[in-house]
């Protein structure tokens, strides 16, 4: 019996010692958070320096893209941890003044412990990954200063820009430049195709290589439309080259608004381009549809929306600006909730960030979160799709109004305004979150871009009254079915 008790006591002693040793050796969550914060600063310095350089080495660009993605993920993990910490503190305070049962307190403590263990694992994983990334790019940092400085670029498009410019500056072997080289650029609406093209066309090396840069917007492929191809092109840039200069080349940018039906349609478009383009000229074709990929003479550039972690970093930067989100943990938590509901919609991020900046108040932000959560849930339940998915595809979408719950407004069509005198005066936020009143269809301004090509995004919509008593409209979604 004594030997049995002695064995038990020995086992308990050993386990206690191991427990305390593990406690002393394991870093706490706050320790990992502090280390991750410092590593993030080092990574951000590298990325900021790289952003200001024109890097041509593809391997270096890929490393920087991987480092940028790791930074976005680490920021997301860190912000999530801070929001959870703030929620836990609020929950503890609420429990302190409430008369909850012992069982509920135990359950709450177990949930906090489980969530804390996952949070520590996520923080440690982000720290290890980012630290490894920084070690990998140590040599890259030494070479950064060897690359020339670069003007302002669109968000997260460094790799695409480099591949795009390499294509335009590539010189074909003699005799192989009889045919025009074609680069397709594919991506959904509002993903940044026009922005990418505009920035490349501003590059001095590109402007020096091509005597003219022409833009052509085309919806269909009628003979009349293609016959006036050269005259309908919009001249974006022109070099004053002499008539004796045999190196005059055109860069033709074709924006396909519709889809290419077949190879015959492309053949007509290509022939129309070739008819006016001298040897060495090149064609850029942008479209929402993958059907243009097979007509390229080089690998197509495919643009996609940002992953959620990168989108959160983008939205947070827009929303808080020069303010420190750490000083506003409650608002940061609400902003994360809103970002999740925006479905990585670029225009939605700009509209919402502007609205939140103008109303920097916890109660207002809470009201927006509750409004969006209820509205999106009802829309998905009724129509089977998120309204921003419909807007990204330029399909009709039904949106609620915050100030007047008895009304919805239907967005029928969206378009870009290149001329400032054609931009509508009514703003999207005035319609959805304000008290704007009108009857019939009208035009509204969604957002005005502050970077090239400085497009203004507008749309056509109509405010409708919801029928009382739950009466249902018989029209389909296509014809304007109303959300209740």
For 374-424, what is each residue's pLDDT tens digit?
A: 999 999 998 899 998 888 888 899 999 998 888 999 999 888 886 676 789
pLDDT of residue 220: 58
Residue 362 inside a domain? The answer is yes
Q: In terms of domains, do 118 and 6 share one?
A: yes
pLDDT of residue 225: 56
**Mean of the per-residue pLDDT values for the chain?**
79
Tens digits of residue pLDDT in 315-357? 999 999 989 998 999 999 999 999 999 988 888 999 999 999 9
Q: In terms of domains, do 397 and 328 share one?
A: yes
What percent of the chain has a predicted confidence (pLDDT) above 90?
30
How many domains does one find in the chain? 3
Residue 294 inside a domain? The answer is yes
CA distance 114 to 202: 53
Which of 242, 273, 302 is where one domain is finished? 302
Mean pLDDT score, 186-199: 88
pLDDT of residue 474: 39
Q: In terms of domains, do 336 and 239 share one?
A: no
Q: In terms of domains, do 46 and 193 share one?
A: no
pLDDT of residue 112: 47
Q: In terms of domains, do 85 and 62 share one?
A: yes
Residue 13 inside a domain? The answer is yes
Q: In terms of domains, do 237 and 165 share one?
A: yes
Contact present, 349 and 315 (Cβ < 8 Å)? yes
Confidence band of 359 (pLDDT split at 50, 70, 90):
very high
Runs of H (alpha helix) within 263-403: 263-276, 308-320, 329-341, 346-358, 362-383, 387-392
pLDDT of residue 473: 43
Tens digits of residue pLDDT in 131-140? 998 888 887 7
Mean pLDDT score, 34-53: 87
Is pLDDT above 60 for 92? no
Beta strand 212-218 pairing with 234-238: antiparallel
Confidence band of 449 (pLDDT split at 50, 70, 90):
confident
Q: In terms of domains, do 213 and 132 share one?
A: no
Which stretch of 111-115, 133-137, 288-292, 362-366 has the lowest confidence by average pLDDT?
111-115
Q: In terms of domains, do 252 and 318 share one?
A: no
The CA distances from residue 83 to 78, 139, 140, 325, in Å, are: 9, 36, 35, 11
CA distance 11 to 13: 5
pLDDT of residue 268: 78
pLDDT of residue 452: 74
Which of 302, 332, 364 is where one domain is finished? 302
CA dihedral over 218, 220, 226, 232, signed as positive or negative: negative
Is pLDDT above 80 for 77? yes
pLDDT of residue 275: 77
pLDDT of residue 373: 94
Domain that holds residue 43: 2-144
Other C-beta atoms closer than 10 Å to the C-beta of 284 total 26
Contact present, 470 and 414 (Cβ < 8 Å)? no
CA distance 244 to 246: 6
Mean pLDDT score, 134-162: 71
Q: In terms of domains, do 321 and 466 share one?
A: yes
Mean pLDDT score, 441-465: 88
The encoded tokens of residue 430 equal 């005035």
């Amino acid at each position: 019996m004594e030997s049995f008790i002695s064995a038990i006591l020995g086992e308990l002693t050993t386990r206690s010692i191991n427990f305390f040793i593990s406690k002393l050796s394991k870093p706490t969550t706050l320790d990992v958070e502090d280390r991750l914060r410092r590593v993030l600063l080092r990574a951000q310095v590298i990325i900021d320096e790289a952003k200001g350089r024109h890097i041509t080495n593809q391997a270096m660009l890929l490393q920087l893209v991987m480092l940028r993605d790791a930074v976005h993920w680490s920021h997301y993990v860190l912000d999530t941890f801070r929001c959870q910490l703030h929620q836990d503190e609020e929950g503890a305070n609420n429990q302190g003044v409430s008369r909850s049962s012992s069982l509920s307190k135990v359950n709450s403590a177990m949930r906090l412990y489980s969530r804390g263990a996952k949070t520590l694992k996520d923080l440690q994983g982000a720290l290890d990954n980012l630290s490894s990334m920084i070690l990998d790019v140590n040599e890259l940092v030494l070479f950064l200063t060897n690359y020339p400085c670069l003007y302002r670029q669109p968000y997260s498009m460094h790799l695409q820009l480099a591949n795009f410019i390499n294509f335009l500056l590539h010189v074909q072997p003699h005799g192989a430049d009889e045919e025009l080289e074609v680069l397709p650029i594919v991506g959904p609406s509002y993903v940044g195709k026009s922005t990418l093209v505009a920035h490349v066309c501003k590059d001095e090396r590109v402007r020096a290589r091509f005597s003219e840069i022409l833009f052509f917007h085309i919806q269909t492929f009628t003979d009349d439309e293609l016959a006036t191809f050269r005259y309908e092109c919009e001249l974006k840039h022109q070099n004053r080259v002499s008539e004796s200069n045999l190196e005059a080349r055109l860069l033709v940018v074709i924006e396909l608004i519709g889809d290419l039906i077949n190879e015959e349609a492309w053949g007509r478009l290509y022939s129309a381009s070739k008819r006016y383009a001298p040897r060495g000229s090149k064609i850029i074709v942008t479209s929402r549809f993958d059907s243009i990929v097979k007509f390229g003479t080089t690998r197509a550039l495919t643009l996609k929306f940002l992953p959620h972690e990168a989108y959160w970093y983008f939205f947070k930067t827009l929303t808080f600006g020069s303010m420190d989100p750490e000083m506003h943990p409650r608002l940061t938590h609400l902003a994360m909730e809103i970002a999740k509901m925006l479905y990585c919609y670029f225009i939605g991020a700009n509209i919402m960030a502007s609205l939140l900046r103008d109303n920097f108040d916890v109660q207002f932000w809470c009201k927006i979160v509750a409004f969006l959560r209820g509205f999106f849930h009802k829309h998905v339940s009724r129509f089977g799709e998120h309204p921003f998915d419909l807007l990204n595809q330029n399909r009709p979408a039904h949106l609620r109004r915050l100030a007047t719950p008895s009304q919805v407004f239907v967005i029928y069509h969206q378009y870009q305004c290149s001329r400032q005198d054609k931009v509508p005066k009514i703003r999207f936020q005035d319609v959805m979150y304000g008290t704007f009143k009108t009857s019939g269809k009208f035009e509204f301004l969604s957002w005005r871009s502050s970077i090239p090509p400085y497009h203004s995004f507008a749309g056509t919509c109509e405010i409708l009254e919801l029928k009382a008593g739950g009466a249902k409209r018989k029209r389909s979604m296509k014809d304007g079915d109303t959300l209740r």
